Amino acid sequence: MGEFELIHNFFAAAPCAQGGEGVVLGIGDDCALLAVPAGEQLAVSTDTLVAGVHFADPCDPFLLGQRSLAVAVSDLAAMGATPVAFTLALTLPTVTAEWLQAYARGLNLMAQRCGVALVGGDTTRGPLSLTLTVFGRVPSAQALIRSGAQPGDLLCVGGELGNAAGALPLVLGQRTAAAAIAEPLLAHYWSPQPQLGLGQALRGKATAALDISDGLLADCGHIALASKVGIQVERDRLPLSNSLVAFLGQSGAEAAALSGGDDYVLAFSLPSVELAQLLAEGWPIHVVGQVVAGQGVVLLDACGQDITPQIRGYQHFRETP
> Does residue 75 touch a second copy according to CB under 8 A?
yes
> Does residue 102 touch a second copy according to CB under 8 A?
no
Cβ atoms within 10 Å of 124's Cβ, excluding its own:
11
Binding window for a second copy (CB under 8 A); candidates: 24-32, 101-109, 190-198, 275-283: 24-32
| Strand pairing category for 208-211 and 266-270 | antiparallel
- Give least dist CB 148 to a second copy, A: 11
| The length of the chain, given as a count of residues | 321
- Give least dist CB 46 to a second copy, A: 4
Cβ(308)–Cβ(318) below 8 Å:
no
Cβ(83)–Cβ(136) below 8 Å:
yes
208-211: strand order across its sheet: 208-211, 266-270, 154-157, 286-292, 230-234, 296-300
Euclidean distance between CA atoms 133 and 159, whole angstroms: 25
Binding window for a second copy (CB under 8 A); candidates: 85-93, 101-109, 236-244, 256-264: 85-93
Please select the residue that binds a second copy; options are 122, 236, 281, 301, rule is CB under 8 A: 122
Region of residue 66 (phi > 0: left; psi between -120 and 50: alpha; otherwise: beta): alpha
Please select the residue that binds a second copy; options are 20, 48, 139, 151, rule is CB under 8 A: 48
Binding window for a second copy (CB under 8 A); candidates: 42-50, 96-104, 178-186, 282-290: 42-50
Residue of 126, 109, 26 lying closest to 70 (CA atoms): 109
Q: Which of the residues 203 through 262 are near a second copy (CB under 8 A)? A: 209-211, 226
> Does residue 35 touch a second copy according to CB under 8 A?
yes
Provide the terminal-to-terminal Cα distance of the chain, rounded to the nearest Å.
Answer: 45
> Does residue 50 touch a second copy according to CB under 8 A?
yes
Please select the residue that binds a second copy; options are 7, 14, 16, 45, rule is CB under 8 A: 45
- Give least dist CB 291 to a second copy, A: 18
Angle between helices 242-259 and 179-190 (to 10 degrees): 40
Please select the residue that binds a second copy; options are 33, 172, 178, 293, rule is CB under 8 A: 33
> Does residue 200 touch a second copy according to CB under 8 A?
no
Which secondary-structure segment (H or E) carries 292?
Answer: strand 286-292
Half-sphere exposure of 156 (CA within 13 A, CB side): 27
Please select the residue that binds a second copy; options are 7, 11, 47, 232, rule is CB under 8 A: 47
Q: In one letter, which amino acid is 154?
A: L
Binding window for a second copy (CB under 8 A); candidates: 39-47, 189-197, 238-246, 292-300: 39-47
> Does residue 116 touch a second copy according to CB under 8 A?
no
Of the pair 39, 249, the CB lying nearest a second copy is at: 39
Q: How far is CA 9 from CA 1, 2, 128, 187, 316, in A?
A: 10, 11, 19, 31, 33
> Does residue 58 touch a second copy according to CB under 8 A?
no
Of the pair 75, 160, the CB lying nearest a second copy is at: 75
- Tell me which residues touch a second copy (CB under 8 A): 2, 24-25, 28-36, 38, 41-48, 50-54, 75-76, 78-79, 81, 85, 87-89, 91, 119-122, 124-127, 129, 131, 133, 135-136, 138, 140, 143, 145-147, 209-211, 226, 313, 315-316, 318
